[in-house]
Amino acid sequence: MRPGRRPLIAGNWKMHTSYEEALALARGCVERIPASLAVDVAIHPPFIWLVPVSKVLEGSAIALGAQNCAAREDGPLTGEVSAHMLAPFCRYVIVGHSERRLLLHEDDAAIAAKLRLVFDHGMTPILCVGEQLAQREAGQAGEVVTQQLRAALDGLTPDRLARLVIAYEPVWAIGTGVPATPADAEAMAQLIRAVVAELGTDGAALRVLYGGSVNATNAAGFLAMPAIDGALVGGASLDVEQFSAIVQAAEALYQQAADQATMEA
């Protein structure tokens, strides 16, 4: 992380939690995560719990995010939830998670459309990109991520590009307990910044997260990297102790980086 770019720790609950569990988890986060942080924190419950969880989060420092939205404005699309509907409750929307790309066959066009709708409705997209294992083994990881970025971001205004959050999530690291190494994640975060810079903005302002088997033990290794500004946390975000420990690690590292910058100035 770098002073001046506010880190973001986002918890993706995926299709987990009962109603009672969702409320208890949100309450736990509010109790354990102080309001005065230099770090942004978001939780992404399933759609059905967004409204009740929004009430639990009122007055706290924790923002609400959705895991997805429809690729079109309101209209005849049975079962979908539009960005317009999410906007009163959510600050962030995850777009293009690999589970949606691979298991639910979401294509580049849908991802690009969702990204624009999230911006149109005043929210911040967290765009997920990442290669599969065979692609990494074939030395194609950089190429795959570059193509995903271009397909989603081409034509976005520099202002929107600068406000975007991008999560690098190698597919083979998600939910496997086998994270990328901090050095590999850093290399990809630098590539992501370079691609976004080519697309027309100063990549310096962009926030890039790492995701894939992040937990309280390994988080600091990623967060200490200069091009990485936070984490998208799946499994460990369902455990209040783990999630709040990751937030604390981010806060400590950010304060350390800010103190260092002050000393050097």
Contacts of 18 (CB under 8 A, 6+ apart): none
DSSP 145: H
Which whole-number Å values give the CA distances from 50 to 54, 125, 127, in the listed order?
6, 17, 20
Residue span binding ligand PGA (CB under 6 A) among the ranges 16-24, 85-93, 212-220, 244-252: 212-220
Find the DSSP H helices in 104-181. Answer: 108-120, 133-137, 141-153, 158-163
Give me the residue label for tokens 């981010």: 250
In the annotation, is 169 catalytic?
A: yes
Residue 211 within binding range of ligand PGA, rule CB under 6 A: yes
Residue 180 within binding range of ligand PGA, rule CB under 6 A: no
Residue 125 within binding range of ligand PGA, rule CB under 6 A: no
Residue 233 within binding range of ligand PGA, rule CB under 6 A: yes
Give me the residue label for tokens 């995701």: 211
Among 107, 175, 217, 256, binds ligand PGA (CB under 6 A): 175
Residue 178 within binding range of ligand PGA, rule CB under 6 A: no
Instruction: Identify residues 131-170 at the interface with ligand PGA (CB under 6 A).
Output: 169
Judged by CB under 6 A, the number of residues near ligand PGA is 13
Q: Which two tokens stand for residue 197?
A: 């810079």
Task: Return the closest-CA partner of residue 94 out of 9, 165, 176.
Answer: 165
Instruction: Identify residues 8-27 at the interface with ligand PGA (CB under 6 A).
Output: 12
d(CA 132, CA 155): 26
Residue span binding ligand PGA (CB under 6 A) among the ranges 16-24, 47-55, 181-189, 234-242: 234-242
The least CB distance from residue 167 to ligand PGA, in Å, is 7
Among 148, 213, 242, 244, binds ligand PGA (CB under 6 A): 213
Residue 223 within binding range of ligand PGA, rule CB under 6 A: no
In the annotation, is 97 catalytic?
A: yes
Which whole-number Å values give the CA distances from 132 to 22, 57, 126, 205, 230, in the listed order?
31, 35, 19, 28, 22
Interface residue list for ligand PGA (CB under 6 A): 12, 169, 174-175, 211-214, 232-236
Give catalytic residues, as residue numbers. Answer: 97, 169
